């Protein structure tokens, strides 16, 4: 009978072979050996590192350092020759001119000076001086009203240009139609409110009163006309102040003294609800520039109330 050799290996894939079992045994032994060595090595003594002396420079590095070239010494400056300074020339003394003596003015020259003082540049300089002095009201605060025989006081408490009656219907422009904006670019197109006045006009206004001295008394309608004429200037001053303080409103009573030549001699604030000294000074300065009709009239002191209301 013949003998047949067969492999002693399983034919099923999930059954381990002899080679697989041998590989696993060798792998397990290697893992155990190397894990033991890995645990022992960290505990072995290690030699200390030897630090090199950092101060000592190797000769190779020393050869790379370039030697600095010596700079040549600076040239010695040559001694400069001293030039003699020119001697200052003696200045000639200028003869002192004696001021010329002023000649005495003749009567004709004096009369010409009086004429020039009432017109031209001299009159203009007087107006500027009045405007400059009007900003200081201290000199008028303690002065009492004039009570001489030639001075009369008129009270316009019910006859103001811009009085409290201006809000009533007067047949003029209604305040409800005015714009409330007070912008700087539209002031030129804005018109002020017209108000009624209780001062007599027509035939009643033409009656002229005379005092005991023979001079006429300045009529009330003439004073009213001047204030009406300057109403736009007064309101422009108020509108500029109103931009800074929109709540600015109230009544101002102004007292002014008018000379026979039509100029305002004195002006001051008797009472004011504005509580704005800067605005009041500007109003007084503007009132001092008023010019009334000159004539053979007496000096008169007038109290004039003005109501300022934002429109």
Contacts 24+ apart (CB under 8 A), 151-154: 151/257, 151/298, 151/299, 151/300, 151/301, 152/211, 152/217, 152/298, 152/300, 152/301, 153/300, 153/301, 153/302, 153/303, 154/220, 154/223, 154/300, 154/301, 154/302, 154/303
Burial class (CB in 10 A: 0-12, 13-18, 19+), 165: middle
Q: Is 57 helix (H, G, I), strand (E, B) or coil?
A: coil
Taking residue 85's Cβ as centre, other Cβ atoms within 10 Å add up to 6
Whether residue 68 has pLDDT greater than 90? no
The residue among 130 and 60 whose pLDDT is bigger is 60
pLDDT of residue 39: 94
Average pLDDT score over residue span 130-156 = 43
Nearest to 290 by CA among 233, 241, 216: 233
Q: pLDDT (tens digit, 9 = 90+) per residue, 225-272?
A: 999 999 999 999 999 999 999 999 999 999 999 999 999 999 999 999
Whether residue 182 has pLDDT greater than 50? no
pLDDT of residue 227: 92
| Distance of alpha carbon 169 from alpha carbon 151, whole angstroms | 36
| Distance of alpha carbon 266 from alpha carbon 255, whole angstroms | 8
pLDDT of residue 253: 94
Q: Is the dihedral of CA 259, 263, 268, 272 positive or negative?
A: positive
| Distance of alpha carbon 64 from alpha carbon 140, whole angstroms | 97
**In contact, 160 and 304? CB cutoff 8 Å:** yes
**Mean pLDDT across the chain:** 70
The residue among 233 and 126 whose pLDDT is bigger is 233
**In contact, 235 and 295? CB cutoff 8 Å:** no
Q: Which of 110-119, 124-133, 177-186 has the highest mean pLDDT?
A: 110-119
| Distance of alpha carbon 232 from alpha carbon 302, whole angstroms | 20
CA distances from 177 to 93, 172, 190 (A): 80, 11, 11
> How are beta strands 250-258 and 264-272 bridged, if at all?
antiparallel
Whether residue 162 has pLDDT greater than 90? no
pLDDT of residue 281: 92
Burial class (CB in 10 A: 0-12, 13-18, 19+), 256: buried
Q: In what order do the strands lie in the sheet with 152-155?
A: 152-155, 300-308, 250-258, 264-272
Average pLDDT score over residue span 152-180 = 43
Q: pLDDT (tens digit, 9 = 90+) per residue, 187-228?
A: 333 334 333 344 444 433 444 555 555 678 888 889 899 999
| Distance of alpha carbon 39 from alpha carbon 41, whole angstroms | 6
pLDDT of residue 112: 72
């Amino acid at each position: 009978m013949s003998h047949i050799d067969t492999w002693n290996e399983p034919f099923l894939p999930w059954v381990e072979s002899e080679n697989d079992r041998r590989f696993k045994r060798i792998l397990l032994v290697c893992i155990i050996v190397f894990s033991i060595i890995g645990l022992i090595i960290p505990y072995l003594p290690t030699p200390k590192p030897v630090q090199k002396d950092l101060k000592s420079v190797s000769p190779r590095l020393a050869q790379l350092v370039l030697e600095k070239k010596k700079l040549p010494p600076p040239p010695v400056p040559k001694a400069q020759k001293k030039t003699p300074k020119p001697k200052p020339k003696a200045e000639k003394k200028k003869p002192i001119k004696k001021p010329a003596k002023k000649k005495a003015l003749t009567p004709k020259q004096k009369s010409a000076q009086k004429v020039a003082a009432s017109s031209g540049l001299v009159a203009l300089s007087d107006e500027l001086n009045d405007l400059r002095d009007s900003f200081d009201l201290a000199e008028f605060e303690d002065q009492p009203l004039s009570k001489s025989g030639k001075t009369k006081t008129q009270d316009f408490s019910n006859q103001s240009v811009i009085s409290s009656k201006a809000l009533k219907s007067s047949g003029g422009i209604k305040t409800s139609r005015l714009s409330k904006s007070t912008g700087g670019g539209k002031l030129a197109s804005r018109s002020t409110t017209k108000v009624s006045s209780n001062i007599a006009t027509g035939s009643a206004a033409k009656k002229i009163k005379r005092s005991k001295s023979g001079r006429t008394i300045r009529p009330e309608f003439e004073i009213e006309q001047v204030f009406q004429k300057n109403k736009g200037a007064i309101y422009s001053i108020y509108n500029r102040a109103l931009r800074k303080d929109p709540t600015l409103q109230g009544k101002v009573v102004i007292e002014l003294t008018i000379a026979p030549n039509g100029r305002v001699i004195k002006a001051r604030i008797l009472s004011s609800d504005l509580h704005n000294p800067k605005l009041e000074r500007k109003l007084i300065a503007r009132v001092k520039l008023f010019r009334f009709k000159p004539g053979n009239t007496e000096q008169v002191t007038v109290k004039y109330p003005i109501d300022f209301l934002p429109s």
